[in-house]
Structure 1
């Protein structure tokens, strides 16, 4: 192993994360043959195969699973060293890895663009995932900072709330419940719901709402994206529960409608999350301050009028 390179470890970690040579090559801006070569060289240093190959499918061997733990530790230590060096230089340069839940993409892309305009020397790497996936990426040091709704319980992670995050029940404009000026939670008992997958913060908030009301909802369709849920709701397949920050365009165009349900909006908070022990690079600190100082006002300008309609 003493002849293994950091590049080989990075390639190995990326292939293991996606279990795909092609995806790893795309993310690392390499060709698939180059990725294959790096893995073969690392396997020759280890003396054992790291992946099992069955046709086009690959999986980690037992050796690969052990090696992945140490590879990630090495890469995390290297990243920390780079961040400390950048801090000592006082330069806002280098790579900034930002993770965020898919619900946040409706405002984060514009905010990241504004941040980039102020910090042109920073190279950005963006990673989308659900809440549980982002917690894992933070713990393995694969992202520097993350934006999510429900804060993590893990004690090694620090969550800083930066803006209100309202959630509402939505339906197709022709749904019969829209004829009611005010709905009780009981009115939803027999309705069909379209929900996000387990591990999603939106799914957890919806489940807690019904648990508090001691109602077991009818979860009929499970989908893995807000966009697909919106399409299903607009098609009349059921009622959805979504962040108000994801439905601005559809509300403005009259393609989707909010249900006026007692106890809603369910207001959570947007959180900025990073590890307690990690020394934040100047770029990460700059992004942290940018979000904490500007995000709340930005969201109020973009979505505040819809919130007022619901109150």
Structure 2
């Protein structure tokens, strides 16, 4: 495998990411035949098929699954080398990869738009993980420069810096009986079903800690891995839920959902920007880290305060 190129590895990992030659070609700005050729050349060098082809679909072969681990390591090491050289030159250019939990997608893109206005030479890739556990896998594999998440990981050696408050709230449909009470105790929620995030998500962990502290056992009727699906279920009158305030801003402003001003709520947590201690940040990553520590809190306070005030006044 002495003649394997980094270009071939990039193409291979992109096909493995999408399990589609056409989508990989689109992401890499190549033609599908060029992608196919690169993969065939790599398979020739390896001496084994890396993908199993069935009609128009592809999947990783057993050898491909193993090879993907090493390909990602090699590409991550190359990026670390590029970042180290960029630090010597103080270049704010190149690719910045930001991983985040799904809840952060409701505000991080807006912050990134402002960041790009100040740093137009930086290309940004967002890696949205369905939950906290998936994001930890990205960090562990060195597949993102920085991560935006709630509870800092204890499983990895990281530097975690809090940058803003993260309110988590109880929500209900507009006609729910609980909304007739100004400030109901937590026990008032006992008769009603709850629609909650799946185990492993930061929101689920925060909810469980809050309930444990108050010795309250909710009636969990459904578990879902999508904030959007949970909101739709609550709006349909299927139950109450506990979500990040950032995820429900549009629905609260339009009256499709209401806050339940439960005693002890909102539950306040913190947002953190995180990176591996072993990772040497590139100038572009340092620039975004500095930006989010300086700018994010004021932005989120400006968007969260009206929502919380409206919930308290209702």
Q: Which residue of 2 aligns with 1:235?
A: 236
Instruction: Give the 3-state SS of the residue equivalent to 2:205 in structure 1.
Output: helix
Instruction: Give the 3-state SS of the residue equivalent to 1:111 in structure 2.
Output: helix
Q: Comparing 128-137 with 92-101, which one deviates more in the overlay?
A: 128-137
Distance apart, 1:55 and its partner CA: 4.5
Instruction: Give the 3-state SS of the residue equivalent to 2:107 in structure 1.
Output: helix
| 1:217 is the counterpart of 2:202 | no
Distance apart, 1:21 and its partner CA: 3.2
Could you tell me which runs of 5 or more consecutive residues in structure 1 were left unpaired when the two chains were aligned. Answer: none
Q: Which residue of 1 aligns with 2:155?
A: 154
Q: Which residue of 2 aligns with 1:247?
A: 248
Is the CA contact 1:265–1:310 (under 8 Å) kept in the aligned structure 2? no
Query: CA, structure 1 residues 22+139, in 2 after alignment: closer, same or farther (shift >3 Å)?
Result: farther
| 1:47 is the counterpart of 2:29 | no
Query: CA, structure 1 residues 252+24, in 2 after alignment: closer, same or farther (shift >3 Å)?
Result: same
* Partner deviation per Cα, 1:234-255 (whole Å, 9 max, x = no partner): 1211111111122222222222
Q: Comparing 279-288 with 239-248, which one deviates more in the overlay?
A: 239-248
* Partner deviation per Cα, 1:133-185 (whole Å, 9 max, x = no partner): 22212222221111111222223222111100000110001001111222222
| Separation of aligned partners in 2, 1:253 and 1:290 | 31
How does 1:185-224 map onto structure 2 within 5 Å?
185-224=186-225
How does 1:125-136 map onto structure 2 within 5 Å?
125-129=125-129, 130-136=131-137
Could you tell me which runs of 5 or more consecutive residues in structure 2 were left unpaired when the two chains were aligned. Answer: none
Distance apart, 1:111 and its partner CA: 0.8
Distance apart, 1:85 and its partner CA: 1.2
| Separation of aligned partners in 2, 1:22 and 1:149 | 35
C-alpha RMSD of matched pairs (Å): 1.9
| Separation of aligned partners in 1, 2:20 and 2:159 | 32
Distance apart, 1:190 and its partner CA: 2.9
Q: Which residue of 2 aligns with 1:37?
A: 37
Q: Which residue of 1 aligns with 2:143?
A: 142
Report the TM-score when normalising by structure 2: 0.92
User: How many pairs align?
Assistant: 311
| Separation of aligned partners in 2, 1:31 and 1:206 | 47
Q: Which residue of 1 aligns with 2:307?
A: 306
| Separation of aligned partners in 1, 2:21 and 2:149 | 29
| Separation of aligned partners in 2, 1:215 and 1:225 | 24
* Partner deviation per Cα, 1:250-298 (whole Å, 9 max, x = no partner): 2222221111212211111101011111110000000000000111111
Q: Which residue of 2 aligns with 1:165?
A: 166
* Partner deviation per Cα, 1:67-87 (whole Å, 9 max, x = no partner): 222111111110001101111
| Separation of aligned partners in 2, 1:213 and 1:297 | 31
Instruction: Give the 3-state SS of the residue equivalent to 1:273 in structure 2.
Output: strand
Q: Comparing 287-296 with 176-185, which one deviates more in the overlay?
A: 176-185
| Separation of aligned partners in 2, 1:57 and 1:222 | 31
Report the TM-score when normalising by structure 1: 0.93
Is the CA contact 1:169–1:258 (under 8 Å) kept in the aligned structure 2? yes
Distance apart, 1:131 and its partner CA: 1.8
| Separation of aligned partners in 1, 2:226 and 2:78 | 34
Distance apart, 1:32 and its partner CA: 3.4
Q: Which residue of 1 aligns with 2:276?
A: 275
* Partner deviation per Cα, 1:219-246 (whole Å, 9 max, x = no partner): 2233332222222211211111111122
